[in-house]
Amino acid sequence: MSYENKVSFREGRIVLYTRNGSPTFHVRLKVDGQDGYVVRSTKRVSVEEARTFAEDLYDDLRYRVRNNLDTGTHTFASLWKRWLAANRASLSIHRLRYIEGTANRYLLPFFGKRSLESINDVIVTQYWTWRIAYWSSAEGTAKIEAARKTRATKQNPWIQKLGNVAKVPAQKSLDMERTALLQIFHWGERNGLMKRVPDVSSPKVKPRGVVERRPAFEIEEWKELYRFMRGWVREEYTVTPSASQGSPIVRKPNGFHLWHRELLRSYVLFMGASGLRPNEARQLRWRDIATHTDEQGTKHIVLYVAPTTKTGERETIPLRNAWVIIDRLKAASSFTAPDNLVFCDRSGAPIDNFGKTFKALLIRCNLLKDRFGRDRTIYSLRHTYCTLKLLHSDVKIEDLAQNLGTSPATIFAHYRHITTRMKASSLGGQLRPGLSSKGLYF
């Protein structure tokens, strides 16, 4: 490639040129504070118009770099190349082969050309939908057929026939791909290429026709949990030293423990009153809480769910007792400005996970397992909200699905045992004396 009609200005930071006999000008920029060069086509054949384009682009990039904004020049493909170059030597040959295969087959075709700034929770959710259906799609089917017709050669003896590829991927496969994607994203965040790692939770794939009931709390268990937490927040705890240090010591919770337990208690009650997903609550800011007065003059809370969450932005109405919880959270927090997070640590940073403390709490009050022996998790609070709302209110499934940011089909599939209970009076039948001498129930 030869550079022709080369013109430079701004002390050599902007270079215009044509190449290989083409009349179209390209630009090469060097912006202070950004590694390497930015190379773009100006799509102009006039040097004056190309210079105007180049200077506008240079000024825009310079502003973005100075203000710590994403320049939009990093794509997933460029992140992948950098990650691979930095980590290739530390990976085993088997791990390297797996990650390269996963990237070339799935990650790069879907994410490759997207800017890192645009990859959010919604895009990742779309990826999983695309990935699960890939080998059943027209593109995937065509690849399988093409692979079957391909013959091995001396130069390429390892031809994949794709004969055993699963039309629906196994759960283990999705979990392994999630781990690989997280490795790449976290490396990008640590190296300043990404400002935020999106939620890449892999969906649960079940065998066809099998829908798992989601562990939740029954009403009596829920009452037992929130009553237990009232005393637990100030409960003494035992420190067990090593054998050489003497007997166990009973201590009262210090200021940090009191604060953390109160925060977890408020979090549990809020999640049970709102049905939010954990990542939706994690991104909730004080500006996202508003009010609405209905036709009867009753005031309700309105929560604005961020567009960067799993299903995008929406408005949701929590239970009215959420007022008390929100007031308690605000009174206990030092970060209550509109842009501050509702659930944050003592420095204002987001709290990554309450999972371990919540599990310890459930073990403490003997509520970790449901009746089928499945562990309850933070996500069980969302399922509890949905279960109790279906059982103890007259809300329609369509309205509940909209409030939760899901589909009526999903509600029915995972909570059909609840809808069965809702129809108990008609399903249980009535005594029909005319059907026999003693009557039959129908």
Query: Structural domain boundaries of the chain?
Result: 3-67, 76-151+160-191, 219-241+248-427
How confident is residue 156, by pLDDT bands cut at 50, 70 and 90? low
Q: Which residue has the higher pLDDT, 316 or 413?
A: 316
Q: Which residue has the higher pLDDT, 237 or 73?
A: 73
CA distances (Å), 157 to each of 103, 154, 187, 207, in order?
Answer: 22, 5, 34, 35
Q: Which residue has the higher pLDDT, 30 or 250?
A: 30
Find the mean pLDDT for residues 233-244. 60
**Dihedral sign computed on CA atoms, order 140, 146, 147, 149:** positive
Q: Is the pLDDT of residue 35 over 80?
A: no
Q: What is the pLDDT of residue 246?
A: 57
36-50, 118-132, 324-338: which has the highest mean pLDDT? Answer: 324-338
Percentage of the chain modeled with pLDDT above 90: 34
Find the mean pLDDT for residues 251-264. 83
Where are any strands of DSSP class E within 323-398? none
Q: What is the pLDDT of residue 107?
A: 94
How confident is residue 441, by pLDDT bands cut at 50, 70 and 90? low
Q: Is the pLDDT of residue 212 over 70?
A: no
Find the mean pLDDT for residues 113-138. 87
How confident is residue 226, by pLDDT bands cut at 50, 70 and 90? very high
Alpha helices, DSSP H, located in 134-254? 138-149, 171-190, 219-232
Tokens 């027209």 sit on residue: 138
Tell me if residue 75 falls in helix, strand or coil.
strand
Q: What is the pLDDT of residue 113?
A: 82
Q: What is the pLDDT of residue 276?
A: 94
Q: What is the pLDDT of residue 206?
A: 62
Give the domain 219-241+248-427 fold.
hpI Integrase; Chain A (1.10.443)
Q: Which residue has the higher pLDDT, 97 or 434?
A: 97
Find the mean pLDDT for residues 382-404. 89
Find the mean pLDDT for residues 32-43. 79
CA 239/CA 259 separation, integer angstroms: 19
How confident is residue 371, by pLDDT bands cut at 50, 70 and 90? confident
- Give bridge partners of residue 249 from the DSSP assignment: 239
The answer to which of 15-24, 62-71, 143-152, 370-379 has the lowest mean pLDDT is 143-152
Q: Is the pLDDT of residue 315 over 90?
A: yes
CB half-sphere exposure, 53, CA atoms < 13 A: 19
Q: What is the pLDDT of residue 157?
A: 44
**Dihedral sign computed on CA atoms, order 378, 380, 384, 390:** positive
